[in-house]
Amino acid sequence: MNYQAILDEIYDEVQPELHKGKVADYIPALAEVGKGQFAMTVTLDNGQVFSVGDSGKQFSIQSISKVFTFTLALDVYSRELYKRVGVEPSGNPFNSLVQLEYENGIPRNPFINAGAIAITDALISYYRDEYMTLEVIMNFVREISNNPKLSFDPLVANSEMEHGDRNLALARLMKSFGNFENDVLGTVFTYFKHCSITMNTEELSRAMLFLAFGGTDPVSQKQFITPSQTKRINAVMLTCGHYDASGEFAYHVGLPAKSGVGGGIAAIVPGKMSIAVWSPALNRYGNSHAGTLALEKFTTKTGLSIF
Ligand code: GLU
């Protein structure tokens, strides 16, 4: 299949859509990112890369980092993790406090904010402190992307912390139910730091490749997790990867994927490839408007989906 031609076609078709939607402005540092930008990259098992648009431009991966922290936590805690975080779609906005209250402080899944904060807390307990935990997360992300230079943007992390009342409230609510083990401020700040990791679509697509191949990077042949763990992570991406629009995303795109409010979406086609797309303007659910559309076009044009 001529992936480059397909990406070029998609690039032309999404142009009229790039200014629709709203850039995430509840994080002031992200509000400055200009609309109208678009990038998409496909990475195959042999490491071959096809890109279109601003694929060298770094963006804040935000909630996509939750896939990496969930992977690490599942690896060290296994089933024990489910005592603290479920794996059901929430059907609620990503930062909702209401559901957490009536479900006794146990977040529905690792991809809503409360779930990801609980995962960061669990990792801090396991790795003993915040600094070590951040180091482990960063090293893991560098390893899976085969890029030792990846880093997070402290300006974005600080901006999130300054305006982090809702996430701090989620953490405190979990603590009131006994589902929190470490210092609330330090844990939430660690969570913001991993959300602030910056990547371009080529780096992000490479970082997701191991999830398309049963937990082993097909290029480096490094095994990061088992096929069974991979199956679970991909299942949660499919059912919970797009906040309360996860069903709609599965319906239109048909791939396990995770979005972030920075406008990125990372998806995998099991056994075939990983795909990253970025366009900063978001739809009303907080998912990239043009990014979602581009992935829908990709699966329609190529016939590649898990269904
Ligand atoms: N750091 C963001 C927050 O906590 C992540 C949101 C997202 O990408 O969904 O609000």
What is the identity of the amino acid at 233?
I
Give nearest CA residue, ligand 1 atom 4.
113
Which atom of ligand 1 lies at the shortest distance from residue 191's CA? 1
Active site residue 191: yes
pLDDT of residue 144: 97
On whether the CB atoms of residues 37 and 24 are closer than 8 A, the answer is: no
Instruction: Tell me the per-residue pLDDT of 244-263, one tens digit each, with 9 for 90 and over.
Output: 899 999 999 999 999 999 99
- What is the mean predicted confidence (pLDDT) over 262-278? 98
- With b meaning 16 or more CB within 10 Å and e meaning fewer, what string describes 206-215? bbbbbbbbbb
pLDDT of residue 244: 86
Would you state the structure tokens that stand for residue 279, as one six-digit string? 């366009």
Global confidence as pTM: 0.97
- For residue 244 and ligand 1, the question of a CB distance below 6 A is answered with no
Instruction: Tell me the per-residue pLDDT of 60-103, one tens digit each, with 9 for 90 and over.
Output: 999 999 999 999 999 999 999 999 999 999 887 777 899 999 99
Instruction: Tell me the per-residue pLDDT of 13-30, one tens digit each, with 9 for 90 and over.
Output: 999 999 999 999 888 888
| Cα 303 to middle of ligand 1, angstroms | 31
- For residue 65 and ligand 1, the question of a CB distance below 6 A is answered with no
| Cα 181 to middle of ligand 1, angstroms | 21
- For residue 96 and ligand 1, the question of a CB distance below 6 A is answered with no
- Find the catalytic residue in 51, 63, 196, 205: 63
pLDDT of residue 39: 98
Active site residue 82: no
Q: Which domains does the chain have, with CATH numbers?
A: 3-62+197-301 (3.40.710.10), 65-195 (3.40.710.10)
